[in-house]
Amino acid sequence: MQKVYLDNAATTQVRDEVILRMQEALAAHYGNPSSTHSFGRSAKTAVEQARKTIAKTLNAQPSEIIFTSGGTEADNMILRCAVRDLGVQTIITSKIEHHAVLHTVEELEKEYGIAVWYVDLDEFGNPKMDHLESLLQKDSSKKLVSLMHVNNEIGNITDIASVGKLCQQYGALFHSDTVQSIGHYAWDVQSVHIDFMTAAAHKFHGPKGIGFAFIRKNSGLKPLIVGGAQERGFRAGTEPFHNIVGLEEAFVKAYEHLEEETKTVKALKKYFVEKVQQEIPGAFFNGLSADLEKSTYTLANVRLPFDKQKGLMLLFHLDMKGIACSKGSACQSGSDQGSHVLAEILSREELEKPSLRFSFSMYNTKEELDYTVQVLKEFANN
């Protein structure tokens, strides 16, 4: 049986160079980065070098990069601290954000009594800028806008620059979950009006359990996790040195090879979209995921022409054939509920059809995509 991994939006294969760097860190640099002896100092130096590397690539300052356990923690930290420390009274977001944002906002609404407003979406799942502007104008409350750059289920790319300009114009803070974006797109935080961003290493061929938050200098945020002076006093807890250098290595390699790997993966997605359209009549790509310019090159979300009963067996059938993909975010895979993203943009009839997210990386091949489409075609014809 062939084994095909097409769930890269959930997590990615770790690069060999990253594994080697982490092995070296675990074997030779085991000092606590907070210790003052030579073992600790060597680890601390490497942590700070990783911070500088990331900051330089993003055109940020090292003090603006805070290491976290991943994107979920970073999103929680920023949103919670913005309400607690900055007096945010209203959060404007969308109903197709990652649950790391949506569930946090819901909790903040209960705990602090803040207002939560949802920007309208067009038929493809893009936030309507005119409605966003009307919400920003609505009253004089202190506002924070939280809109993700690349949607993790349908791949839509939000016009971050335009959102930033509106936030700047109306004096709102701007947070973006960039977990599906960092490592796949070039970023310059000085050219975009953005206050907060989040990233996770395992989305760009790094280790799980490590990520970072970009927090604009002098933001006024205070620590959420206390108990130590790590991360310049912003996040207590012994730094996972091996994970941090793994993150740095993955980050460096992602941007060193960004152009060539983007070209490779984009070609794979184009091939997959065309193959599905040719071989499976009635298949439809949700959102703008078939559009190579308006959606990320890393994933495609396809709705297949099967009835609900047959669709229930589809993911199991693919798994039995060695093909890994998903119905939506891996974070909700334990739930029987359907995709909250698709529920916002599809009709009830369309939701009855099975939709699958296929996400690609440089480790995939056209032969794997041929096999996947063939399996789908055979399933459709049985």
pLDDT digits (tens, 9 = 90+) for 263-281: 999 999 999 999 999 999 9
User: Which pLDDT value is given to residue 327?
Assistant: 85
- Tell me: pLDDT of 352 over 60: yes
- According to DSSP, residue 215 is labeled E
The catalytically annotated residue of 81, 167, 325, 331 is: 331
Q: Which of the four pLDDT bands, split at 50, 70 and 90, describes residue 71?
A: very high
- pLDDT tens digits, one per residue of 40-67: 999 999 999 999 999 999 999 999 999 9
Q: Domains of the chain (ranges plus CATH)?
A: 4-13+258-381 (3.90.1150.10), 16-256 (3.40.640.10)
| Residue 329: band (very low, low, confident or very high) from pLDDT cuts 50, 70, 90 | low
- SS3 label, residue 66: strand
Average pLDDT, the chain: 95
Band of residue 381 on the pLDDT scale cut at 50, 70, 90: confident
Provide the percentage of residues in the chain whose pLDDT is more than 70: 97
Provide the pLDDT for residue 165.
98
Give the pLDDT score at 377: 94
120-166 pLDDT, tens digit each: 999 999 999 999 999 999 999 999 999 999 999 999 999 999 999 99
As a whole number of angstroms, the distance between CA 229 and CA 248 comes to 22
The pLDDT of 18-22, averaged and rounded, is 98
Residues 6+ apart with CB under 8 A from 381: none
- Identify the three-state secondary structure at position 108: helix
C-beta separation of 288 from 266 below 8 A: no
Q: What is the pLDDT of residue 380?
A: 87
pLDDT value of position 200: 98
Q: Tell which residue, 82, 74, 77, has the closest CA to residue 219.
A: 82
**pLDDT over 60 at 333, yes or no:** no
User: Is 167 designated active site?
Assistant: no
- Output the pLDDT for position 232: 86
Q: What is the pLDDT of residue 336?
A: 54
Beta bridge partners of 174: 145
- Per-residue pLDDT for 332 more than 80? no
Is there a contact between 363 and 5 (Cβ–Cβ < 8 Å)? Answer: yes
**Separation between Cα atoms, residue 359 and residue 371, nearest integer Å:** 15
More confident residue, 309 or 208: 208
Q: What is the pLDDT of residue 307?
A: 85
For the chain, the first-to-last Cα distance in angstroms comes to 20
Task: Tell me the β-bridge partners of 90.
Answer: 115, 143
pLDDT, position 310:
86
Per-residue pLDDT, averaged over 273-298, amounts to 96
Residue 328: the pLDDT is 64
